[in-house]
Structure formats: structure tokens, C-alpha cells
Amino acid sequence: MALNFKLQLAENSASNIFRRGTLSFTKKNHVIQTPACMTYTLRGAVPHLLADNLKLLPIELVQVSLEHFLEQKDPSSFKYPHGLHKYLNLENNLLFCDIRDPLKLSPVSFNTDKYLSVQTHGGVRQVTPDLWAEAMNIYRPDLIATMSDTVTDMDAKTKRIKKSVDRSLRWLDENLVKSKELDIPVFAPVMGHTDKEERIRSATSTAERDVQGFIVNVLGFEKETVAAQVKASTDNLPSNKPRLAYGLSSPEGILEGISNGIDLFDGSYAYKVTEKGRAITFKFGTELKSEIHTQDQPKTLNLWSTDLAHAFEPLDTTCGCDACTRPHTKAYIHHLLNAHEMLGPILLMSHNVYQLDKFMQSIRTSIDQGSFEQDMKTFMHHYSHLKESDGMQNHEDEVDTDSLGVHLKKKRTLKL
Ligand SMILES: [Zn+2]
């Protein structure tokens, strides 16, 4: 099999509930330690970064969304004969291809038994099992997600949820024929939305199929309900196969996911904070030097802040990223953002991708040492978990999630 997943069994059974594993892509001879984050892309590119930047970063498994490539009826990527790795100049990376952007919740249009609707720059397109098969045949990624009839309406009725479970299973059976022929491992979506019984039915039925992993979706769910919904799915999945989650990309979401049996996450958080002009400063486990009375600390640094105009030190002296080692100062990055220079987001994105990976490393070490539960408590106590909105002061939110990250017209506010 092209994909092997091994869970390490912790010596003390108490920490056994937190999954620590290795995911081996045998064809590429590449092993990924889990829990881990994938790297988020927009139209097949890691936002802001070029090949030279990527080389300096710990990027392994890259997530690509098919809907970013379907803006025309005859997508140019379908005509390229050497596969998606080469097309995207990501030949040294592992590619995971799903259909929709993991950041997107917005329903584009309805799905039917014959197709699911996706959103592209060219408008709404329909992905049929045949189109999906054609894309996978040409792209040849290392790992693929099968089609899912995702429900986005939080008030959806049981009838609609049941239909989405059945439809996704039918598409899965159809997609599996092609993936077997191509010998590409498959992650199957487990559905059920807000209905616990349906989550159980979907997980159980999907687990009966010959798939190599699962995708649990809680995108858009209230924070309070996430744990129970994830658990309803993961409790009914075989423990020896990996689970990817959507909707748990924040640091708190990642910790919640790990507490409920998730192994892989989408790495969109690094992109989201970069778009807000912020740099990750949070630490975890032994890296987090927390004192008992410290709480509500910010998790990121707002580089738009005029307080940093004379801060002539790097973002993080312990960080090994290109932005911090060269080093570029906070004051300089602040200046670049104000001048709307491309280098600003390049430096921030490099730092944030590096730090998100570091966070996952610290989590793995913490699970290995049997201290995850305590470390998570310390983390939750130490940091503020409010939406970090002060970064938006005088700046419009620059992520337009409805148009694939194309920047809205920026409102310039120069404070002199
Ligand atoms: Zn850095």
C-alpha cells in the first residue's frame, strides 16, 4: 500500500488517548510525523512564497484544492502532461488534493446526485465523478480526498443530512474505482453535519470501505459543540487509520482536535494571521515558560502597530526562519506593511509557516513525554482566546475569503 499509518503506543496508558503517529508515503519514501499540519495553498501556490522561500521552510504535505483550477471549462492544468507536482513546481513535496478550499464554508449552489458545485473565479462549476476522475488521472497527487456533499446550513433538517451521507457514500464507491486504478491512497469524508446519529452512521459505513484515512468536518460549528461532534465521528472510526479535520485550524482548534482523536489539520492559520499583518508568538510545552499568574497573553504580534516603528529586534530570537535569522527587525516589517511592499507578507508568511510547524513539533514532544494534557491546560490559561481583532484597527480585514484571497481594495491609513 502506498500509505502506511502507524500509531505509537505510549508506555503509560493514560496518555494513550492522544494519538502520536507516523504516516509513511512508501512510493516517495517520505515519513510524516503526526499530529501535523498540511500547508495551505491558493491556486496551487503557498500564498506570498516563491520556490526560494519554500526551500527554507519545513513544508512536507501540501494541500491543493481542485476548485482553484476549474475557472475555465477546459482548465489549462488538465492539458499539462507531466502531473500536478511539476505543474506547480512542487516536485519535492507531497500533494494532497481535495475538491474544495478548506477555508470555505459558503455554499456556492446546490449539489445533486450527479455533481457537486464549487466556486471558481469563473463562477460556479459542477464537479461530476467523471470530471474528478479525469483530474486525478492527470494530476496524480500523492493522496486524494473523495467527493463530499457537504451541508453548510447550520439549521439543516435530518432529511437533508441523511441525503448528504448517502450521496457521499455513493460518490465514494464511484471514486474508489478510479483511485484503485491509479493506486493513489484515499481519504474519505465522514459526514453527518449536526446530527449525531448520522455522524455515527456515516463514520461506520465509510469505515467499511477500503479507504486509507478519513476527513472530519466541523467548519463553521460553534466552539462549544465542536468536541462532541468530532468525537461522534472519531469514536466510530478504526483507530489504525489517520483522520484529517477541517474547521480546527486555530491553535485552540488543533489542541481540541488532538484531544478528540485527530491526526492532521489544514495549515490555513499561518495564512490567516499573515493576512492580518500578524506574527505568531505563541509557544507550547517545554517552550512555553509560563508562570501561574500570567494569563490572557496575546498569541500573535500585530506588525501594523505603530508601537513597533522603533522596535529594532527580530520577531523572535529563538526562531529559525529566514525572517528572524537574517534578521529583519519588527520596525522594518512594520515599515514594509505600511508601504504595501510585497516583502512584508513574504517575511511574515515565512515566519508563520515555520512557527506553526514548530507548534506541531512541540505538541508531538509533549505527547511523547506524556505531558500533553497538562501542557494544553497551561497553554489555555496563559493565552487569550478572544478573536484577535485589534490588528484590524484602522485596517479593513484584507482577506476576502469569497474570492479566493484576492485582496480587497486596501484602505490606506498612514498615521504620521
Ligand atoms: Zn521567525
With H, G, I as helix, E, B as strand and everything else as coil, classify residue 206. Answer: helix
Residue 209 lies in a domain: yes
Domain range for 96 is 3-266
Judge if 63 and 84 occupy the same domain. Answer: yes
Spacing, Cα 378 to ligand 1 middle (Å): 23
Instruction: Determine if residue 97 is labeled as part of a ligand binding site.
Output: no
pLDDT in tens, 91-115: 999 999 999 998 887 666 789 999 9
d(CA 120, CA 129): 18
The pLDDT of 408-416, averaged and rounded, is 41
Spacing, Cα 290 to ligand 1 middle (Å): 21
With H, G, I as helix, E, B as strand and everything else as coil, classify residue 65. Answer: strand
The proportion of the chain whose per-residue pLDDT surpasses 90, expressed as a percent, equals 82
pLDDT at position 289: 84
Residues, Cβ < 5 Å to ion ligand 1: 319, 321, 323-324, 351
Judge if 198 and 134 occupy the same domain. Answer: yes
Beta strand pairing status for 36-37 and 143-145? Answer: unpaired
Instruction: Determine if residue 293 is labeled as part of a ligand binding site.
Output: no
Q: Which amino acid is at 311?
A: A
Instruction: Determine if residue 37 is labeled as part of a ligand binding site.
Output: no
The pLDDT of 332-350, averaged and rounded, is 97
Residue 411 lies in a domain: no
Judge if 80 and 210 occupy the same domain. Answer: yes
pLDDT in tens, 38-76: 999 999 999 999 999 999 999 999 999 999 999 888 899
Instruction: Determine if residue 319 is labeled as part of a ligand binding site.
Output: yes
Reply yes or no on whether the pLDDT at 407 is more than 50.
no
The pLDDT of 310-316, averaged and rounded, is 97
- Find out whether the peptide bond into 327 is cis, omega within 30 degrees of 0: yes
CA distances from 27 to 1, 180, 244 (A): 9, 15, 21
Could you tell me the pLDDT band of residue 1, with boundaries at 50, 70 and 90? confident
Spacing, Cα 272 to ligand 1 middle (Å): 16
How many folded domains does the chain comprise?
2
Judge if 60 and 149 occupy the same domain. Answer: yes
Spacing, Cα 330 to ligand 1 middle (Å): 11
Judge if 168 and 133 occupy the same domain. Answer: yes
pLDDT in tens, 126-146: 999 999 999 999 999 999 999
pTM: 0.92
Judge if 81 and 189 occupy the same domain. Answer: yes
pLDDT at position 390: 47
